[in-house]
Amino acid sequence: MGKGDYLGEFELLVMATIVRLGDEAYGMRIRRDIEERTGRTVSIGNVYAALRRLDAKDYVGTRKGAPTAERGGRAKRYYYLEPDGAEALERSRDLFMTVLADLPESLV
Amino acid sequence: MQSKSPDPTPARQQPPRAAVFLLRLFSPAAEHEELLGDLREEYSEHWLPRGRGVARRWYWGQALRSLRAGLDRPNRRVPGTRKGDGLVGNLLQDVRYGVRSLLNAPMFTGLTVLTLTLAIGVNSAIFSMVSAIFFSEMPLQNTETAVFVWTNSAERGVDRGSSSLPDFLDLRDQIDALEGIVGIGQRPGILSGVEEPTRVQLGLASADMLQVWGLAPHLGRNFAVGEDAPGATRVAMLSHGLFERRFGADPSAVGREVKIDGHPTTIVGVVSPQMEFGDLAANDLWLPMILDPAATPRDVRSLFVSARLAPDSTLEQAQAEVALLGERLAEQYPETNRGWTIEVQDFQSGLADDTFWTVITLLGITVGFVMLIACSNIATMTLARATSRAQELAIRAAIGAGRGRIMRQLVTESLLVSFVSAALGLLVARAALYGLTWIAGENSGVTSFFQMLSIDTGVLVFTLVVALLAPLVFGLVPAIRASRADLASTLKEGGRTSGDVASLQGRRVLVATQVSLAIALMVVAGLMVRALLEVRSMEFDHAPETILTMRIDLPDAGYPELEHVRQFRRDVGERIEAEPGVVRVAWVDTRPVADFGGSTSFEIAGAELRSEEQQPFAFRTAVSPPYFDMMKLRPLMGRLFGAADRTDAAPVALVNAEAVERFWAGGEALGHEIRMGDGEWLEIVGVVANELNPDPSDPTVPRIYLPIAQHTELGGALLVESLNEPLALTASVRGAVLAIDPEQPIADVRTQARIYADANSSISVVASMLGSFAFFALVMAGAGIYGVLSFMVAERTREFGIRMALGASRGSVRTMVMRNSGVLILIGVLVGLVAAFGLGKLLASALPEINAGDPMVYSSVGLLLFSVAALAAWIPARRATRVEPVVALRAD
């Protein structure tokens, strides 16, 4: 993926949520955060599919947490932005700012 | 909802298993931990305030919605479009999914792989044997014109035997319909001049043999014309094997001078490696066969003769000509050739005899049976699994998988199973071949055949074909069924599809067939094992396990006078007798069963001349006096040999009871004189009991014993009876021999017991093969019957519930199930017994030791299989009726 690549909508949501959650950015939190903010149902499978794509583009990195009892003894996987990902997120934000900023308040 | 008060213990908060299962199936394994952990964490958060039902519904929603996403692969920029995936993408996906789904059903996968592995393994082992005959090449080019020439004697029981050198020369000079008539002989020899002296097997060939067979030398040259004339310079060719073993494949071996039997001999070449075939592979060196008709008598028949049909000649013409020659020779040399005929046989039918083909056919049938049982088992398992997977497949179809896509998925899974099984099966086949070679024994006659066995490319191809064809059969049927399934009802019913009548019938036939196949195999194996046990349990008067034997053949170069041979034997004997534990030492020219003794016709002084067919004949053995004590041969009349029976005393002989019975009509043989050929007259000084040995081809035969001191030859064998472990004596015996003659090797060291066992190794081999097949068949059939019946019973659980709810007792339901199965099993047993009898007859025609009608075997095998099958039926029947009627009614 070369520079100048823009993110898909869902990927953008996931990346933004990772930034927002900071140290608490793992699958379930990301999913619920997006669900609460957008009001639409998000499946955990979709979140991981997006994370997988972002990981393949080297936009996000991961580290493993400790297993906990309420997870049935399974470990969490935390996500954070890689420099490439941060750059892509910035680029997408700039793009949205540019194209959306001077639209009139109401479009209907 | 009563369960509103939350239970805080996490163990109770298990998410729905089926949903977890689906998620595992449809998501990459590497992500399972975090994904399932996330869902689990959130699930308990839903559970606490809102109750179990809400949490479960939520979980299911997450699982189902995640299915599609789970199938996404990384690096795909546009998720969601499936049509443009391409075959390779789908294939990879199918394989990944297939592996996951197979690993998720370890029981099914394990059993299927095990079944196929064993089936493919035994199949490849058998195929290796058959291909060793069909596809391995006899070192003879243009086989369509090649023929074998045999001499037969009906009266002596010689069928397709070897020819004598003078007969061979007559054949070569007088038959017009054949050309390129060449002979091959074999004898032991001693190779020295290279490292320490060793005993080697010498191949003797007509000088033009290699040219006629069309074999170029590997190195150097073939024998030249004239090198087989008496008095020619001594030359030899190395076998390819010896060239590598002893000369390190060093080309400078050609041109070297070695000693063979003490004679300086020049190595002129290395024989083509193609000659390492069958019995020929045993030859270490090849010498030109010296064509001196005076050197060997006409009744020493040891040459294997092959030829080519002359242009424009047919097999029939050749046959007519040689038959005529046979008659002429019989007239001309009645002493040696009366009763002998000559026969020409074409190459193909000459390669293996009828017995061999019968055994191969039998093994082929066995393999077919085993394969059939294995296939029907796999078909059953796959069908059962397809039914239990119906819901999963329906979900796939519901989210958009086409029929072809689902079928491809199922076939991919079958292929995965096949390839794994094929790889494992080859390992099994390898082990089986090692086992066979080991059972055949290192010294027995069949070894040379088994040495040729290896897994070659042909077997690999065969295995791959089996591995590719099998899944098409096992995978397609359920695939077609599944793809036809009615989605809505399958999803609703939770995957239960009641079997239609046709498939029910099919399964019943399957059960009966498996029983019959298994029973047929087991009976045949049982017959073999019984014949083997009978041979093994033979009781001897002597104790073969206490007798150490070995060949000590002397070279003529070191022993020009027979007195030297006698001196050597005396000295060696005295030294060995002095060893602790040694009871007695005997010299013989041929060991019982191990060495081929000569059958000879003889004449009784004063007796009326008998017709040709009734000319007395006997097996002749030269022995030293202790032989009789060692073999516990009692004198029935007269005396045994003593130290006085030497060349300076009157020539004497002993005969056994069988000879007296046959040729003296049970009367007085003592004092009569006999003569072999035109030799001197020998007085019969005693009659001994018949020798007992377990050689199936050697029932009680008439025998003549001669004192070895009066009939000294270079070839001989030593027998040592010991109180201690006889093989432990080997080193001191070798020491004793080397002390007398440092150039003299000893060879073929075996106990007499081992010799007996080796003689029956072909039965052992076939018996152990059939035995393992039969055991395999029994296990497979048992498992198969159990599988089919549990499946049938499980499908009827609801029906049983109704019956019991209406008042039927458990016992009566069980009886009903057992009666159904019992009829099937009984039919199977009966059909199997009939088939077994047919196979037994076939086997008995090849191996006379077999008693095809042995009622013990039939009844015990029938009973055993019936019990196994009944047990396999009883377990599911019991399980079905132990369910509470209410539960059974609810069962879906």
- Which one of B34, B44, B73 would you mutate to disrupt binding with A, by most A Cβ within 10 Å of its Cβ? B34
Residues B373 and B493 in one domain: yes
Chain A closest-CA separation from residue B828 CA (Å): 52
- The answer, for A31 touching chain B at a CB cutoff of 8 Å, is yes
Query: Between A48, A49, A70, which is nearest B10 by CB?
Result: A70
Number of domain units in chain A: 1
DSSP H helical segments within B537-591, as ranges? 562-577
User: What distance lies between CA B848 and its chain's CA centroid?
Assistant: 19
Nearest CA in chain A to B48: A70
Burial of B375 (0-12, 13-18, 19+ CB in 10 A): middle
Binning pLDDT at 50, 70 and 90, where does residue B448 land? very low
Whole-angstrom distance, CA of residue A87 vs CA of residue A57: 12
Among A41, A49, A72, the residue with its CB nearest the CB of B40 is A72
Which chain B residue shows the shortest CA-CA distance from A25?
B38
Asked whether the predicted pLDDT for residue B649 surpasses 90, the reply is no
Greatest mean pLDDT among A98-102, B732-736, B786-790 lies in B732-736
Domain presence at residue A1? no
Kindly list the residues from chain A whose CB atom is less than 8 angstroms away from the CB atom of residue B40. 70-72, 74
> Is residue B541 predicted with pLDDT exceeding 70?
yes
pLDDT tops 70 at residue A83: yes
Please indicate whether, in this complex, the C-beta atoms of B39 and A77 are within 8 angstroms of each other: no
- Estimate to the nearest angstrom the gap between the alpha carbon of B844 and the chain centroid: 18
Q: How far apart are CA B491 and CA B392, in angstroms?
A: 9
Beta-strand pair B235-238/A74-81 = unpaired
The pLDDT of residue B80: 36
Question: Among residues B350, B378, B395, which one ends one of the domains?
Answer: B350
Q: Is A68–B61 a contact, with Cβ atoms under 8 angstroms apart?
A: no
Q: What angle (nearest 5°) sits at the alpha carbon of residue B55, between those of residues B54 and B58?
A: 85
Interface check for A19 against chain B (CB to CB < 8 A): the answer is no
Domain endpoint, select from B691, B721, B754: B754
- pLDDT score at B443: 40
pLDDT at A60: 93
Number of H helices, E strands in chain B: 28, 23
- Say which residue, B839 or B347, is predicted with more confidence: B839
Backbone angles phi, psi at B533, to 5 degrees: -60, -40
Supply the range of the domain harboring residue A62.
9-99
Q: For chains A and B, count residue pairs whose Cβ atoms are closer than 8 Å.
A: 91
pLDDT band per the 50, 70, 90 thresholds, residue B460: low
For residue B177, being part of any structural domain is answered with: yes
Hey, is the C-beta of A76 within 8 angstroms of any chain B C-beta? yes
| pLDDT higher than threshold 90 for residue B262 | no
My answer on whether B491 and B530 are in the same domain is no
B331 vs A: CB within 8 A: no
Reported confidence tier of residue B513, pLDDT bands at 50, 70, 90: confident
**Residue B641: pLDDT band by 50, 70, 90 thresholds?**
very high
Distance, C-alpha A89 to centroid of its chain: 9
- Cβ distance B74 to A70 less than 8 Å, yes or no, reads no
pLDDT at A49: 87
Strands A60-68 and B673-676: unpaired
Q: How far is B100 from chain A (nearest CA, A)?
A: 17
Q: Nearest CA to A62 among A103, A101, A27, A37?
A: A27
CB contact under 8 A, A45 and B66: yes
Q: What is the pLDDT of residue B576?
A: 92
DSSP label at residue B485: S
Which residue type, as a one-letter code, is found at position B828? Answer: G
Sort out which chain B residues have CB atoms less than 8 A from A44's CB and list them.
Answer: 35, 38-39, 62, 66
**What average pLDDT does the segment B205-234 reach?**
86
For residue B656, give both structure tokens.
Answer: 């056994």
Structure tokens at B800: 């049983």
B511 and B400 in one domain? no
* Domain contains A2: no
Q: SS3 for B272?
A: coil
Chain B, 68-97: which have a CB under 8 Å from a chain A CB? 68-70, 72, 74-77, 79
Regarding whether B462 and B436 lie in a shared domain, the answer is yes
- How confident is the model over B21-70, as pLDDT tens digits? 778 777 777 788 888 888 888 888 888 777 788 888 888 888 888 876 65
- Closest residue, chain A, to B37 (C-alpha): A71
Highest mean pLDDT (candidates B300-314, B601-615, B625-639, B696-710): B625-639
pLDDT at B3: 41
B317-327 pLDDT tens trace = 999 999 999 99
* Model pLDDT, residue B442: 47
Give the pLDDT confidence score for residue B437 in this predicted structure.
Answer: 65
Could you tell me if B27 lies within 8 Å of chain A, comparing CB atoms?
yes
Q: Which residues contact B126 (CB under 8 A, 6 or more apart)?
A: B363, B364, B366, B367
In this prediction, residue B352 carries a pLDDT of: 56
Q: What is the ipTM for the molecules in this complex?
A: 0.84
In a domain, B82, yes or no: no
Highest-confidence range of B554-558, B566-570, B784-788, by mean pLDDT? B566-570
Q: Band of the pLDDT at B547, cuts 50, 70, 90? A: very high
Number of folded domains in chain B? 5
Domain limit, last residue, from B436, B464, B497: B497
What pLDDT shows up at residue A3? 47
B7 touches chain A (CB under 8 A): no
Q: For residues B785 and B782, what is the distance between their CA atoms, to the nearest angstrom? A: 5
- B571 and B740 in contact (C-beta within 8 Å)? yes
Mean pLDDT of B597-602: 70
CB contact under 8 A, A77 and B33: yes
Q: Is the per-residue pLDDT at B302 higher than 90?
A: no
Q: Are B142 and B447 in contact (CB under 8 A)?
A: no
Q: What percent of chain B has pLDDT over 90?
A: 8
- Indicate if the pLDDT at residue B179 is higher than 70: yes
CB-based contact (8 Å) between A26 and chain B?
Answer: yes
Does A31 sit within 8 Å of B35, measured CB to CB? no
Check residue B95 and give its pLDDT.
81
In terms of CA atoms, which chain A residue is nearest residue B23? A45
- B397 and B492 share one domain: yes
Q: CB-based contact (8 Å) between B20 and chain A?
A: no
- Which residues of chain A have a CB within 8 Å of the CB of B23? 45
Instruction: With CB atoms and an 8 Å threshold, state whether A70 touches B65.
Output: no
* 3-state DSSP assignment of residue B116: helix
Q: Out of A45, A52, A71, whose CB is closest to B37? A: A71
Same domain, B110 and B133: yes
Strands B198-205 and B285-288, bridge-based pairing = parallel
**B599 lies in the same domain as B571:** yes
B440 and B388 part of one domain: yes
Q: Is B25 on the interface with A (CB under 8 A)?
A: no
Residue-level pLDDT at B475? 61
Band (A2; pLDDT cuts 50, 70, 90): very low
Q: What's the confidence (pLDDT) of residue B134? A: 52
Asked whether B514 and B781 are in contact (CB, 8 A), the reply is yes
pLDDT of residue B739 exceeding 80, the answer is yes
Q: A72 touching B, CB under 8 A?
A: yes
| Minimal C-alpha gap between A58 and chain B (Å) | 11
- Judging contacts by C-beta atoms under 8 Å, the chain B residues touching residue A72 are 10, 36-37, 40
Whether the predicted pLDDT of B589 surpasses 50: yes
Of residues B35, B42, B61, nearest to A32 (C-beta): B42
Helix (H) or strand (E) holding B474: helix B457-484
Check whether residue B574 and residue B609 sit in a common domain. yes
What pLDDT shows up at residue B485?
55
A104 in a structural domain = no
**pLDDT of res. A39:** 86
B394 φψ region: left (φ > 0), alpha (ψ -120 to 50), beta (else): alpha
pLDDT(B379) > 60: yes
Residue type, B430: R
Stretch B9-23: mean pLDDT = 72
What mean pLDDT comes out for the span B411-426? Answer: 82
| Residue B420, pLDDT above cutoff 60 | yes
The residue among A16, A97, A92 whose CA lies nearest residue A60 is A16
Residues B177 and B252 reside in one and the same domain? yes
Would you state the structure tokens that stand for residue B123, as one six-digit string?
């199949």
Q: What is the mean pLDDT of residues B781-794?
A: 75
Instruction: List CB contacts (< 8 A) between A41 and chain B.
Output: 61, 65
**CB atoms < 10 A from the CB of B365, how many?**
17
Selection from B406, B408, B375 nearest residue B389 by Cα: B406
- Enclosing H/E stretch for B777: helix B761-795
Structure tokens at B388: 């239990």
The reported pTM is 0.52
B48: containing domain? 2-75
Whether the per-residue pLDDT at B7 is higher than 50: the answer is no
Q: Are residues B764 and B731 in the same domain?
A: no
**A58: domain CATH number?**
1.10.10.10
Q: Is residue A20 part of a domain?
A: yes
Contact at CB, B37 and A45, closer than 8 angstroms? no
Rounded to an integer, the average pLDDT of B361-384 is 73
Amino acid B20: pLDDT: 84
pLDDT at B449: 47
Residues 78-107 of A with CB under 8 A from B: none
Do the chains contact at A76 and B34, CB–CB below 8 Å? yes
Calculate the average pLDDT of chain B: 78
Per-residue pLDDT reduced to its tens digit, B426-441 = 888 778 777 766 655 5
Q: Residue B38 and residue A72: Cβ atoms within 8 Å?
A: no
Put simply, whether A32 touches B (Cβ < 8 Å) is yes
A60 CB neighbours in chain B (<8 A) are none
Question: Does A19 reside within a domain?
Answer: yes
pLDDT of residue B130: 62
Q: Residue B369 is encoded by which pair of tokens?
A: 């049976």
- Residue B646 and residue B725 in one domain: yes
Which chain A residues touch B77 with a CB distance below 8 Å?
A: 53
Percent of chain B with pLDDT over 70: 78
Nearest to B774 by CA among B534, B452, B519: B519
- Min Cα distance B22 → chain A (Å) is 12
Which of A11, A32, A48 should be substituted to probe chain B, the one whose Cβ sees the most B Cβ atoms within 10 Å? A48
Indicate the angle between helix axes B86-103 and B17-26, nearest 10 degrees. Answer: 140
pLDDT digits (tens, 9 = 90+) for B140-164: 667 778 888 888 887 766 777 788 8
Separation in Å, CA of B402 to nearest CA in chain A: 23
Which of the two residues, B411 and B309, has the higher pLDDT score? B309
Q: For A21-75, how does the pLDDT look when each residue is reduced to its tens digit (9 = 90+)?
A: 998 999 999 999 999 988 888 889 889 988 988 988 899 999 988 888 778 788 8
* Higher-scoring residue by pLDDT: B700, B578: B578
Yes or no: say if B309 and B287 are a contact pair by the CB < 8 Å rule: no
Q: Higher confidence at residue A88 or residue B795?
A: A88
